[in-house]
A and B are shown apart, each in its own frame.
Chain A
Amino acid sequence: MFRPARKNSIPFIVCAALGMMFSIFMPIQPVRADDKEGLEFFEKKIRPVLVAKCYECHSAKSKPLRAGLRVDTRDAIRDGGDSGESVVPDDVDSSLLITALEYVEDDLQMPPDGKLDDQVIADFKEWIEMGAPDPRDEPKSSTQMKLSPADLQAQKDAHAASETAKLWAFQPVQDSEVPDGSKIADSNWPVTDLDRFVAAMAADKQSGKQAGSKQGTARQTLSFAADADRRTLLRRTTFALTGLPPTPDQLQTFLADDSQTAFSVLVERLLASPQFGERWGRHWLDVARFSESTGGGRSKVMPEAWRYRDYVIASFNNDKPFDQFVREQIAGDLLPHDNDQQLADQLTATGFLALGPSNYELQDKELLTMEVVDEQIDTIGRAFLGMTIGCARCHDHKFDPIPTKDYYALAGIFRSTKTLVHSNVSNYVTRELPVSPADKKMHEQHAVQIAALQQQVGKLKRQMQVMTTPDLPGTVVDSDGAEVTINGNWKASTSTLGYYGDNYLHDEGRPKNQSIVYTANVAAGEYQVFASYTSGTNRSSEVPVTVNSMVGQTVVTVDQRKRPPMFGTWQPLGTFSFSDSQSCVVKIETKGTTDVVIADAIWIVTAKQLESVLGQSKTARGAKPAFGDKKTGVALAKLSKQLKVVESKLATLKAGGPQKSIVMSVREEQKIADGHVHIRGQIRSLGEKVPRGFLTAASWTKPSVIPPTTSGRLELANWIADPANPLTARVVVNRVCRHLGLTVVDTPDNFGSMGDAPGSNELLDWLTLRFIEDGWSIKKLVRRITASHYFRLAGSQSTGDARLGFPRRRLDAECLRDAMLAVTGELDLQVGGPNIAPRTKSEYGYKFTSPRRSVYLPVFRNATPPLLAAFDFPNANLVSGKRNVSTLPTQALFLMNSPFVIERSRKAAERLMQQTAGADVTAKQRVDLAFEWTLGRPPTADERTLAQSFVGESADVDSMSGLFQSLFSSLDFRYVD
């Protein structure tokens, strides 16, 4: 077989260094003269493989080019791709190509359809060791010229800056003059300044339309739709502000009030009602992808999530300034607080970060951590900033000025935040809320009782421990002794019996870089060495224990899940010799372990001494007490019985005592650190390190410095909620407008270049500035919009065009259900509190029977109530600032045939029959009442004729439930004008 003469003739290190020098300083390396054979080798063994196996994805013709890597020219294959240099001549170890071919790393295996033959891989190695001779000398065209990293960065920055300059949403919010409204036909039409902006927007639409048509006239006056009647206005306003229909009483009150202030009185009443927070809180819960189960493969119920929901509802009811609301959800745990209630609120708010969808079962915990971080970044981006930052996880954002580095700057913040507790099926972080002063005493007393019992347990355990711990010959070094060096955080414990001395040490499962070193000075000679630990199923099965003896270091791997063979305490490490100068040093490490590691004591004993111990008791290896006589055994049994009694008391006390309030939350991670870019989003493919930070393109305020000791969440929260941030306030103002029928930007979660442009920048900015001036008050913004003339226009199919009218909207799923329950009188208006049936372990098969408002129905990711599922309830896995509005026959089938609607119709009929029980009630009266209850208006003459012929003379329960069901299905019930 062909072998080049110079193979291995140069020491390896020199070879590698030369290779690097070549690749750095001599990018265009001439073919070595003596490499004719080498070139032959390339043509014979290398080129055919590259062509057959690699060119499809890694050549000039590849579309798309994978991993930024080309292997079809000499320079390209050496420069490499996103992951680094692919071929380093003379240096097999640094050549990523070989790593990929050898299939040694999980994330870097090429070709993807299977490992090449070993012989082929050997050829490639040989070729590289030959200096990778390669004749493919294609000159680089100017576009292919590889830029230096600095140039590349400069180019990217320039690009980002120009994108920022273009994108409207990144421009500062600017105040503008209120339009004069000269085009408005009726000068009395505008009631508020907002109306003048709305009219200007309509004028833009009108002229835009004319620009497209051939006979556009430059000046045309604007005229608007007629006003809605008062019943319609009441129904619209009540649904918009509370998500409920007006009651017949409210209807009468409003109709009877013909004063100028009737409408503002109505708005104030609705704003003050707890149902306002329920409706508007639900809007936010859509955005916050709120759910009460994890979703994913093995979906877990999250019994604490309701507290976050209640926090959101209360925040809207209390009109918490929205900037504060933003800060609390991102960094509530880090904000200062004046009292326990505020602390509790702020902790609860951080549930926002914890309640995203996640597959806690994912076994690759590193990946799981990053997936959760990704979800947090994506949600924050879309919910608060209207930016799709998640796109930058794998590459620079293709449309918006968000480079990958920004993504990983944010990722560093969230990787320094603890959201997960890992185990086979991981879990979210929970925190206890402060106890109210009233309950404090109760809790304290309970804690004292528990402590007392725990003390008893400890005492009994210690007694038993002493009785079962023999006096050992030889030398014992216990972990609390002086000859022990403890590195890292170990926790003393007595929970599991079988340890030596007073306690043992426990690494709590992490971090995995700790150790304990025991040193014993023993006389020269041969000894048996033992280590003790308490076994358990959560222990690590491969704990490295290193013994330093005359022969040097010996590593023994100990399985701490198994009970130690000697007395249930001691694990033999082997026989070792020590000299006078060489003391016995034993090191227990946590490196490379996955579960809990225990360190207790070391025992060094000669064979003779050991024999004497073993001779003491024939039952030494048994589970029974190893030492002592019968008397000890009896005493031990007695103690064991006592222990059981006390332990069961303790369990009862714990279960029965006052429960602490638990919320889903986050905390600062123990290790605060900047992260690396993950090349192409691959978690194990690390690129450059990026300091924690925010979006670089969005440098409207002086970015605050993130201290090295904190995650940076607090700084991020302040940056997002800064009034100078052009995104946050605009995004929320736009959301509020949409909920009130005024569409400015129709992609509420995306203000980037792939989203819609605003119908009117001036309108949005003007409202945004007023909103900030008003202290980020949602209620004031609602007042401002509802006070407009626009809000009182008659309904039509439009999207915010005042010429046509106010947009007619379909009742969403919750309104539909709540309105039916309101008609039947079943609706339970209890505000807040837990809502999942006690002892619910799984969402599967959950019975959604509660008559409470829909906002209090449990939201499970893998089990949605049928009505909500049929009527476009948002996917609780995704940020949904805009709900789908679909028209499906499954919805019609639901209204026609579902047990829920059939039952509601009957209940409504029964209620109506009860209230009209008198003998002289006519069918007409019953029909009229049914219309009033469902549609908030009497039937028209035609409707009445139709309905009366349907219910007949008797108008009995059966026919009336038929009427109710039809009314529930009718256009005027399902739509709000």
Chain B
Amino acid sequence: MSIELQNSLSMDGLPTIGSPTATDASRRSLLGKIACGFGSVALAGLCSSEKTSAQAGDSLVVNQLAQQTSLLPQRAKRVIFLFMQGGPSHVDSYDRKLLLEKNDGKVLDFKVARTRTVTPMPLMASPWKFSRHGECGREVSELFPHMAKRADDYCVIKSMHTEGVAHGPATLFMHTGATNLVRPSMGSWVTYGLGSENDNLPGFITICPSAANGGPRNYANGFLPTAYQGTALGAAERSISEARFQNITNSKLSSAEQRERFEFLRRLNQQQMTQRNSERERQRDDELEATIGSFELAWRMQAHAPGVVDMSRESAATQSMYGIGNKATDEYGRQCLMARQFAEAGVRYIQVNYADNGANPRWDQHSKLMKHEQHARAIDQPVAALLADLKQRGLLEDTLVWWGGEFGRTPYAQNRDGRDHNPGGFSVWLAGGGIKPGIEYGSTDDYGFQAVQNKVHMHDLHATILHQLGLDHEQLTYQHAGRDFRLTDVHGRIIKDILA
């Protein structure tokens, strides 16, 4: 069959997989049998019925990343998650507390999450001023002047709570819905549920992820098939300008030599295939055909993927809007702009990490809270630019942007001038993708310690985001170890009040 295809070459000099020379039957047998790790070939619906019976360990003989038709109306086609690793302080960003300001230094009893005991702790007012912004009049601290200007674009959930007091458990919980047990990452669930929108790129990309606090487990497929694992581009603490998809180019050979080798391998494999067929097989081996097909897809990705991310395509104005070229914002600016390019290219789930590899990550100011300024400076302008850029390109309509950390911080002081972890109450914001912009939802208590009104658990946030993607969090299941698993376990409520 591959020989038949040789006659019809596409622009890349590659056989066009959907070319008319391939019969329907052979097309299905080739395409249907490749578990396209990155790509899919518009097989929507073809294999969806097979997926329901998928089990761990099954040989992957369906195109698992074929785009799936969602069952619910889809308000968002993709997610960009701007992960603020370490836990930015909500009482210093979006959750202003007048009583905290008034009672600065006063010692009050708090039930400390780490020890589960009531302990007297000194309150610490925010060192930053708050002011109102946008038509919605949202209060934002002076830490985030650019994000403040876009106050009307997003919905702040001020009553988040989650599980895990330490970074590792809480970070895993945010990504996988479990503090300790091994579960697939949210991006894996989403690509499992929806497939990929593009042929040449992974469906789930995480930019510069951290190796710490769960590391790869935060973007791993857990018990889902390998096709749904997140692909890391770059790594925390390394410049994104050097980041490449692994093994996407061969620096040792000229492109002519690579083409020559590729052609040789293709013929060699065809030869071996023919030998089997003619000599001893009673039936064709679909898996072998799929293996040959995987080289063709790889070749195409090699040709296209590097071009998807290309800063030089962007105007100087766009680059400067993201803060590229400015020392403080260059790194995260590039990552955010890259995220937009991936969104345009149809990547389903894009995570942009503001992270490092330490045990005490970036926003983790147990002392010297003032360091928040340095982190805010690094991300504020890029994030605001991403919102503006997505909006002006019409992408914000169907892209859901999520900004936040794994937990918040305590209103009381730790080590005199820092704040401790706080899983009991914190803020995140969501923009685009059918979320009501310019509103606030829920609240914490008088000091910002515990979420009290309209509480939103991390499971609820997961359920709501899946809902916007057209996925019912109770229906999106995978059978493993004898039972069906979900991202939200047996929990999760959709926060209907924030849906547009």
Show the binding face of A for B, using Cβ within 8 Å. Answer: 64, 106, 112-115, 225-226, 295-299, 357-359, 361-364, 367-368, 371, 378, 382, 388, 390-391, 394, 398-400, 594, 747, 749-750, 752, 754-755, 794-797, 804-805, 808, 810, 844-845, 861-864, 866, 872, 875, 877-894, 896-898, 902, 940, 942-943, 946-947, 950, 962, 965-967, 969-972, 974-975
Contact = CB atoms under 8 A, between A and B. Distances in A.
Contacts of B276: 971
B302 A893 contact: yes
B164 interface: yes
Given A362-B164, A891-B294, A388 B481 contact: yes
Contact of A970 (B165, B216, B265): B265
B340 interface: no
Given A388-B481, A887-B290, A299 B261 contact: no
Contacts, number: 274
Given A888-B227, A897-B249, A400 B482 contact: yes
B298 A893 contact: yes
A896 B250 contact: yes
Interface stretch (B86-94, B281-289, B323-331): B281-289
A844 B483 contact: no
Given A297-B213, A368-B180, A862-B217, A889 B265 contact: no
A747 B57 contact: yes
A887 B481 contact: no
B2 to A, nearest CB: 12
Given A888-B226, A893-B248, A971 B272 contact: yes
A878 B184 CA distance: 12
A391 B116 contact: no
Nearest to B282: A804
B59 interface: yes
B9 interface: no
A752 B482 contact: yes
Interface of B: 33-39, 55-60, 113-116, 159, 164-169, 171-172, 179-182, 211-217, 220, 222-223, 225-227, 231, 246-250, 252, 257-258, 260-262, 264-265, 267-269, 271-273, 275-276, 280-288, 290-295, 297-299, 301-302, 357, 359, 442, 451-457, 479, 481-483, 490, 493
Nearest to B222: A875
B167 A297 contact: yes
B313 to A, nearest CB: 24
A897 B287 contact: no
A848 to B, nearest CB: 14
A886 B212 contact: no
Contacts of A755: 482
Contacts of B56: 882, 884
B482 A399 contact: yes
Nearest to B250: A897
A862 B261 contact: no
Contacts of A950: 260, 264
Contacts of A971: 269, 272-273, 276, 288, 291-292
Contacts of A890: 37-38, 231, 246-247, 298
B182 A357 contact: yes
Contacts of A296: 168-169, 172, 180, 214, 217
Given A297-B166, A886-B225, A112 B264 contact: no
A795 B277 CA distance: 12
Nearest to A298: B168
A888 B37 contact: yes
Nearest to A750: B482
Given A114-B454, A971-B272, 4 more contacts: A398-B483, A886-B225, A897-B248, A946-B264
18 contacts: A297-B212, A298-B359, A359-B168, A362-B179, A394-B490, A398-B483, A754-B482, A810-B287, A862-B211, A862-B214, A863-B211, A863-B216, A875-B220, A887-B33, A887-B287, A898-B247, A940-B271, A970-B265
B216 A862 contact: yes
Given A297-B214, A940-B275, A969-B295, A361 B168 contact: yes
A875 B211 CA distance: 17
Nearest to B267: A946
Contacts of B172: 296-297, 359
Contact of B457 (A112, A357, A400): A112
Nearest to B226: A886
Contacts of B171: 297
B85 to A, nearest CB: 12
B283 A797 contact: yes
B39 A889 contact: yes
B38 A391 contact: no
Contact of B57 (A861, A883, A893): A883
Contacts of A844: 211-212, 215, 357
B32 to A, nearest CB: 12
A893 B269 CA distance: 16
Nearest to B115: A594
Given A755-B482, A889-B294, A966 B265 contact: yes
Contact of B261 (A882, A884, A965): A965
Contact of B38 (A297, A368, A398, A889): A889
B452 A388 contact: no
A888 B159 contact: no
Nearest to B359: A298
A106 B182 contact: no
A964 to B, nearest CB: 11
Contacts of B481: 378, 382, 388, 390-391, 749-750, 878-879
A317 to B, nearest CB: 27
B16 to A, nearest CB: 16
Contacts of B483: 388, 391, 398-399, 754
B166 A362 contact: yes
A897 B301 contact: no
Contacts of B482: 388, 391, 399-400, 750, 752, 754-755
Nearest to A389: B482
A896 B249 CA distance: 9
A398 B481 CA distance: 13
Contacts of A887: 33-35, 60, 287, 290-291, 293-294
B246 A866 contact: yes
A112 B455 contact: yes
A747 B55 contact: yes
A882 B181 contact: no
Contact of B302 (A358, A362, A878, A896): A896
B108 to A, nearest CB: 17
Contacts of B265: 966, 969-970
Given A359-B172, A897-B302, A886 B37 contact: yes
Given A297-B213, A752-B482, A796-B281, A888 B182 contact: no
B272 A970 contact: yes
A803 to B, nearest CB: 8
B169 A297 contact: yes
A750 B482 CA distance: 7
A876 to B, nearest CB: 9
A972 B269 CA distance: 8
Nearest to A388: B482
Scoring B212, B273, B282 by chain A CB atoms within 10 A of each residue's CB, the highest score goes to B282
Contacts of A888: 35-38, 226-227, 294
Contacts of B217: 295-296, 861-862, 877
B417 to A, nearest CB: 21
Scoring A371, A878, A884 by chain B CB atoms within 10 A of each residue's CB, the highest score goes to A884
A889 B57 contact: no
A298 B37 CA distance: 29
B484 to A, nearest CB: 10
Given A114-B452, A359-B172, A844-B211, A947 B180 contact: no
Contact of B247 (A594, A754, A872, A897): A897
A796 B454 contact: no
Nearest to A113: B455
Contacts of A363: 113-114, 165-166, 169
A882 B281 CA distance: 26
